[in-house]
Copies of this chain bind each other. A is one copy, B any other.
Amino acid sequence: MTPLFPHTAITPPVAPASPSRGRVRPLGLSEVTVTGGLWAERQQLNATETLPHIHARLESEGWLSNFDRAARGALPEGRRGREFSDSEVYKYLEALAWEVGRRPDAAAEQTFRDVVARVAAAQEPDGYLNTMFGRAGQAPRWSELEWGHELYCLGHLFQAAVARHRTRPDADDGLVAIARRAADLVCRVFGPGGIERVCGHAEVETGLAELGRALREPHYLAQSALFIERRGHGTLADIEWGRAYFQDDVPVREAHSLRGHAVRANYLAAGAVDVAVEQGDDELLDAVRRQTSHAVARRTYLTGGQGSHHQDEAFGEDWELPADRAYSETCAGVSSVMLSWRLLLADGDPAHADLIERTLFNVVATAVGSDGRSFFYANTLHQRTPGEPVDPETTSPRASSSVRAPWFEVSCCPPNLARTIAALGAYVATADDRGIQVHQYADAEIRTTAPFGDVIAFHVETAYPDDGLIRVRITESPEDPWTLSLRVPSWADSATLTDGRDVQTLAPGMATVHRVFRAGDVIELRLPLEARVTHPHPLIDAVRGSVAIERGPVVYALESTDLGASVDRAVVDRGARPVERDGEVWLPIGIRDDDARTWPYGPADLSAAAAREVRLVPYRDWGDRGPSTMRVWLPTTL
């Protein structure tokens, strides 16, 4: 492992992950405020639309009242929802906690407390908390580790408690105490000599580790480490898709790639980074780095999305990245951000922030509709048939991917989006003992105490990603020099930086200015934001002979709404280049005959079609104008 240093004794950041060591430490929600632009709008939408929508659905689906039934001893009769429905309540609580912490709101605070009280009433005296197991007429506790999700649910409970503890350390609502009792039970039951198995869905690992950090309870971290070490030894039953589905095929230290169910894989890897960092375990951290690099290089979509199989919601094999059957589950995107962020904190490598940015703009931002009340569960890169408008009162099958839906039978994604968006400020910037690193660009106010004790404060002003100018305006600075670092994304091959004195041309990576700053100083980073043509790696079969259009971190899509025909018929000349007009991206596109050969294989067909310029839309906006067909990868003439 690269050398790690203990962070100085600063108050832990108000953030989802707060490792005690690492190359950089996060700046939390008390230090970073997103003030404008796309993400500020999305945070507002999250607060005013998404969170109330989720609350209403948790009630109408009966997933909240499961706790009430548990409290009054009325289960299992009338229990509703799948075995993991408790976790949606916990993710909602986590989202509410971040939101109330970010922007105090008495009504939201009361809602939070009311839900916590209902959860609290369902907890059993020994700390056990789950509405699906352990009662007469239910399966016994911990008897169905493959599919029961009991530990998974508790992992989300722990993360909710961490959010509350970090945003309102003195609150008397009781959520932290609930989590502590449950965590103590987990340590008793699953500790050495106990049930030496793991949960089919990883999550408790990172949840326990973070709860341990937040509450300074090393035995929670130790239990997390036990779970990490146990996985991969086949303590879970084999299933149709093999134990790789729940990463129980190969020990974490030995695996060569993220694999199996994509959300489980990322949650597990996040937990493994937590353990590795806290224990100074270079081997374990290297193992996760290796697996992540492999998966990013060979098993990740252009959007940052992960998961090529609908059937098992899993990563495919290397290079197996079908656009039309992309699963790219929303929760896989969320979990990939969690993992990348932990690796960024450990290593300081801006490549992790590049992937986070890509995933935020093209998976997270795509998965929630402009109404804040409709969601993609899967994020396909190619929609062949237009969907039907979805009744806002309905509940959809989980992987319906043609139209954003208000809720799903398996509805992990909406609250996962909500907690991520509410906590977005925590992914913007980090600090080390030399200064501040800005990783994500949005209008923001950043104010923190430098390791050497003085305040550093600045504003970020930008219309990014529409425009490539990022202006940093210093508002407070120590007398001593410090280093401002700004990420130059990997696609930015001609970025420039001016600090008011020099103009430097930058390579991708971290651009740094080390000097004495004064209030009023302005540093400007200019990122080249021309629309560009992107080709796939030649080993990716599914999109060979196709190109995509990107502009900055934003992936573009062609919709039938703009083409006036099914996007399956689109063809782009190999030499075609996008043009920008009035902030829009256009590309010359031809429309092939939808001919009716009786057998679709034979001699080469080299026919082309006359092209005209057609507008592309940011992928995150697709479907917003109603049902359409859509594709990111555009076939070229061969």
Q: Which of A296, A594, A601, A607 has the most C-beta atoms of chain B within 10 angstroms of its own C-beta?
A: A601
Segment of A107-115, A204-212, A316-324, A433-441 in the binding face:
A316-324
CB < 8 Å neighbour of A534 from B537, B539, B602, B635? B602
CB <8 Å contact, B537 and A601: yes
Q: Is A7 an interface residue (CB 8 A)?
A: no
> What residues of chain B lie closer than 8 Å to A638, measured between beta carbons?
544-545, 638
CB <8 Å contact, A568 and B318: yes
Q: Is A535 an interface residue (CB 8 A)?
A: yes
Q: Is A268 an interface residue (CB 8 A)?
A: no
The complex places the Cα of A318 from the Cα of B323 at a distance, in Å, of 14
CB < 8 Å neighbour of A322 from B239, B293, B542? B542
Segment of A93-101, A297-305, A447-455 in the binding face:
A297-305
CB <8 Å contact, B297 and A537: no
CB <8 Å contact, B538 and A592: yes
CB <8 Å contact, A600 and B540: yes
CB < 8 Å neighbour of A541 from B323, B399, B605? B323
Q: Is A598 an interface residue (CB 8 A)?
A: yes
CB <8 Å contact, B598 and A538: no
The complex places the Cα of A410 from the Cα of B311 at a distance, in Å, of 16
CB < 8 Å neighbour of A544 from B240, B324, B397, B545? B545
* Shortest distance from the beta carbon of A606 to any chain B beta carbon, whole Å: 9
The complex places the Cα of A166 from the Cα of B614 at a distance, in Å, of 63
> What residues of chain B lie closer than 8 Å to A399, measured between beta carbons?
240
CB < 8 Å neighbour of A240 from B397, B538, B568, B596? B397
Binary per-residue interface labels of chain A (509-541) against chain B in the complex, 1 for a CB within 8 Å, 0 otherwise: 000000000000000000000000011111111
Binary per-residue interface labels of chain A (564-578) against chain B in the complex, 1 for a CB within 8 Å, 0 otherwise: 000011010000000
CB <8 Å contact, B535 and A605: yes
* Shortest distance from the beta carbon of A82 to any chain B beta carbon, whole Å: 13
> What residues of chain B lie closer than 8 Å to A603, measured between beta carbons?
534-535
Q: Is A398 an interface residue (CB 8 A)?
A: yes
CB <8 Å contact, B543 and A541: yes
CB <8 Å contact, A546 and B544: yes
Q: Is A548 an interface residue (CB 8 A)?
A: yes
Q: Is A325 an interface residue (CB 8 A)?
A: yes
The complex places the Cα of A324 from the Cα of B308 at a distance, in Å, of 11
* Shortest distance from the beta carbon of A410 to any chain B beta carbon, whole Å: 10
The complex places the Cα of A594 from the Cα of B308 at a distance, in Å, of 20
CB <8 Å contact, B297 and A596: yes
Interface size in chain A (residues, C-beta < 8 A) = 66
> What residues of chain B lie closer than 8 Å to A351, measured between beta carbons?
598-599
Nearest B residue to A605 via CB reads B538
**Assuming the A-B contacts A297-B600, A545-B544, A598-B293, are A607 and B538 also in contact, with contact meaning beta carbons closer than 8 angstroms in the complex?**
yes
CB <8 Å contact, B320 and A600: no
> What residues of chain B lie closer than 8 Å to A599, measured between beta carbons?
296-297, 351, 354, 490
Binary per-residue interface labels of chain A (275-310) against chain B in the complex, 1 for a CB within 8 Å, 0 otherwise: 000000000000000000100111010100000111
> What residues of chain B lie closer than 8 Å to A298, measured between beta carbons?
600
CB <8 Å contact, B537 and A597: yes
Q: Is A373 an interface residue (CB 8 A)?
A: no
Q: Is A147 an interface residue (CB 8 A)?
A: no
Nearest B residue to A636 via CB reads B638
CB <8 Å contact, B545 and A300: no
The complex places the Cα of A534 from the Cα of B602 at a distance, in Å, of 5
> What residues of chain B lie closer than 8 Å to A540, measured between beta carbons?
600
The complex places the Cα of A102 from the Cα of B603 at a distance, in Å, of 41
CB <8 Å contact, A568 and B319: yes
CB <8 Å contact, B297 and A598: yes
CB <8 Å contact, A635 and B538: yes
The complex places the Cα of A323 from the Cα of B568 at a distance, in Å, of 18
Q: Is A8 an interface residue (CB 8 A)?
A: no
Q: Is A342 an interface residue (CB 8 A)?
A: no
CB <8 Å contact, B317 and A384: yes
Q: Is A149 an interface residue (CB 8 A)?
A: no
CB < 8 Å neighbour of A241 from B239, B316, B397, B597? B397
CB <8 Å contact, A605 and B537: yes
Binary per-residue interface labels of chain A (409-432) against chain B in the complex, 1 for a CB within 8 Å, 0 otherwise: 100000000000000000000000
> What residues of chain B lie closer than 8 Å to A597, measured between beta carbons?
297, 537
Q: Is A385 an interface residue (CB 8 A)?
A: yes
Q: Is A382 an interface residue (CB 8 A)?
A: yes
Q: Is A604 an interface residue (CB 8 A)?
A: yes
* Shortest distance from the beta carbon of A566 to any chain B beta carbon, whole Å: 9
CB <8 Å contact, A384 and B537: no
CB <8 Å contact, B539 and A542: no
Nearest B residue to A534 via CB reads B601
> What residues of chain B lie closer than 8 Å to A594, measured between beta carbons?
539
CB <8 Å contact, B296 and A598: yes
Q: Which of A325, A543, A605 has the most C-beta atoms of chain B within 10 angstroms of its own C-beta?
A: A325
In A158-195, the 8 Å CB interface with B consists of none
Using a CB–CB distance below 8 Å, which chain A residues touch chain B? Answer: 239-241, 293, 296-298, 300, 302, 308-311, 316-320, 322-325, 351, 354, 382, 384-385, 397-399, 409, 490-491, 534-546, 548, 568-569, 571, 592, 594, 596-605, 607, 633, 635, 638
Contacts A/B (CB < 8 Å), 5 sampled: A319-B384, A322-B324, A322-B542, A323-B541, A545-B638
Q: Which 9 A-B pairs have the closest CB atoms?
A: A545-B545, A537-B600, A240-B397, A544-B545, A317-B384, A311-B311, A535-B604, A310-B311, A534-B601
* Given contact pairs A320-B324, A323-B541, A542-B542, a sample of 14 additional A-B residue pairs in the complex whose CB atoms are under 8 Å apart: A240-B409, A297-B596, A316-B324, A319-B568, A320-B325, A351-B599, A535-B601, A537-B601, A537-B605, A538-B592, A538-B605, A538-B635, A548-B601, A638-B638
